[in-house]
Chains A and B, each alone.
Chain A
Amino acid sequence: MMETFDGLKDIFPTMPQACERALKNTVNSLREDSPRHAFRPMRRALVIALALLCLTVSAYAALRPQIIELFSREYGRDFGSWMESGNYAQTHASTEAGGAVFTIQEGLQKGFGLYLTGTIAPQDGYILLDEDCSVEEPFGYNIHHGEKAPEGTPTIAQKAEESGSAIRFVHCDLEKIGVEDGVPLSPDCWGYDAKVRRDGTIDFLMEVEDGLAVEPGVSYTLELSANAFPANADGTADWEHPISQSWSVTVLPKPFEDNEGGAQK
């Protein structure tokens, strides 16, 4: 038995010649003068037209559900446009675990995908951070998503010490999903991403893209697990003993026009 990972690359297929040729052709076809997003002077009329367009887009963005805005930011405007013809629901279903309030805010179903947004808000006396972050990071900034904290921003550890708060790593897990009255199944393919707001509340996105567990339907029952992992001041967490709360949320996505006062579209 191969007992180390040396030579791991050799056990995977090598690049087929056709693929190599296609890539080389693509690179050879590139033009030195292709757009480089350089700023060029614009005519006044064009500036005004652009400003009007921006205002229109901003007004439209304000009317769009938050879930579309958040997913557009992650995956681009095309993805947001694709979501606009999905089925939408507001849920605002919450539970508490370990000093944190977990809330599923919105859901959107399209095709074989279910997309969700949620928040994890700290209760008094607690400071929360996503399980992928560290207490040495600046409080309220997503440095792993390109944000830069101003000099002097306290770290999460410092903030906890200053306020005498307990530190909790938090994470919301999707355990199972049921369609209509069907048996809830564990989805193989689901994603989760979290970002912190300046006030320490965590926003999260969840997506289930799994044809086995999700299909176009009327209602979805999510079996979730809200987890808070106690940590000490240096960020060492007790990963084996989370404070967990099982949680069931029903999402009823409907076409946007059927969401009275919900979809804002």
Chain B
Amino acid sequence: MTKETFAREVEGHMNSMYRIAYTILRNDHDVQDALQEAALKAWEKRQTLRQEAYFATWMTRILINECHSLCRKRKRVAYLSDLPETGETPQGITLRLLIEGLPEKLRLPFMMKYAEGMNAEEIAYALKITRPAVNSRIHRAKETIRKELNWDDGNL
């Protein structure tokens, strides 16, 4: 993979990478560090990417590892009150707070599916878990949100 292709791929997936890192780290300073470090590691490991079509999933996996490594190093806990404003409607804010309140085990696969449009196989690869586990975690996340918002099944 040439540097030009790599740069183009990173730029194309930058916003998705940001949201995934933010889902784990919840503050821009750490997200920035994780993104930069993940980009460096991905470039060093570029020979392990067999097909460029899988760049996004492969990069996501490296990024998630980097986020977890950063969490361990810094022992930092993010609180919901730290979350920046997005100018969203009260309904949107309610949903966002509910999602942010989910444990990471459920929050991350849920966001990868519904915000990033990744399928179960891609999520399983990125999180190093099985497809049934991905589906079960997404199901549990939806159940939690559904109960809190009093949605019926048709809305999910």
Contact = CB atoms under 8 A, between A and B. Distances in A.
Interface of A: 1-5, 8-16, 18-20, 22-24, 26-28, 30-32, 34-37, 75-76, 79, 111-113, 131-134, 144-145, 188-189, 209, 211
A23 B129 contact: no
B148 to A, nearest CB: 11
B85 to A, nearest CB: 8
Q: Which of A13, A24, A28, A209 has the most CB of B within 10 A?
A: A13
Given A12-B115, A13-B22, A32-B2, A1 B91 contact: yes
Given A34-B44, A209-B72, A13 B86 contact: yes
Nearest to A192: B105
Given A16-B28, A75-B72, A1 B40 contact: no
A24 B133 CA distance: 35
Contacts of A36: 44, 46-47
Given A27-B39, A112-B75, A132 B133 contact: yes
Contacts of A24: 7, 11
B119 interface: no
Interface of B: 2-3, 6-7, 10-11, 14-15, 18-19, 22-23, 28, 31-32, 35-36, 39-40, 43-44, 46-47, 69, 71-72, 75, 77, 83-84, 86, 88-89, 91-96, 103-104, 111, 114-116, 124, 128-130, 132-133, 136, 149, 151, 155-156
A37 B47 contact: yes
Contacts, number: 124
Contacts of B69: 75-76
Contact of B130 (A30, A75, A132): A132
A10 B14 CA distance: 15
Contact of A30 (B6, B28, B116): B6
B14 A20 contact: yes
A55 to B, nearest CB: 28
Nearest to B77: A211
Contacts of A2: 89, 91-92, 95
B32 A23 contact: yes
Decide if the interface of chain B is mainly helix, strand, loop or mixed: helix
Contacts of A211: 75, 77
Contacts of B115: 8-9, 12
Q: Is the interface of A mostly helix, strand, loop or mixed?
A: loop
Given A2-B95, A132-B133, A26 B86 contact: no
A145 B128 contact: yes
A167 to B, nearest CB: 14
B11 A13 contact: no
Contacts of A145: 128
B84 A13 contact: yes
Nearest to A2: B91
B34 to A, nearest CB: 10
For the complex of A and B, 10 pairs with smallest distance between CB atoms = A132-B133, A15-B18, A11-B92, A9-B115, A5-B114, A26-B36, A3-B155, A19-B32, A2-B91, A8-B115
Contacts of B83: 13
30 contacts: A2-B91, A9-B15, A9-B19, A11-B95, A12-B19, A12-B96, A13-B22, A14-B18, A19-B28, A19-B35, A22-B35, A23-B36, A23-B39, A24-B7, A24-B11, A27-B6, A27-B43, A30-B3, A30-B7, A31-B3, A32-B2, A36-B44, A36-B47, A75-B69, A132-B132, A132-B136, A133-B130, A144-B130, A211-B75, A211-B77
B52 to A, nearest CB: 16
Contacts of A112: 75
A20 B7 CA distance: 12
A80 to B, nearest CB: 12
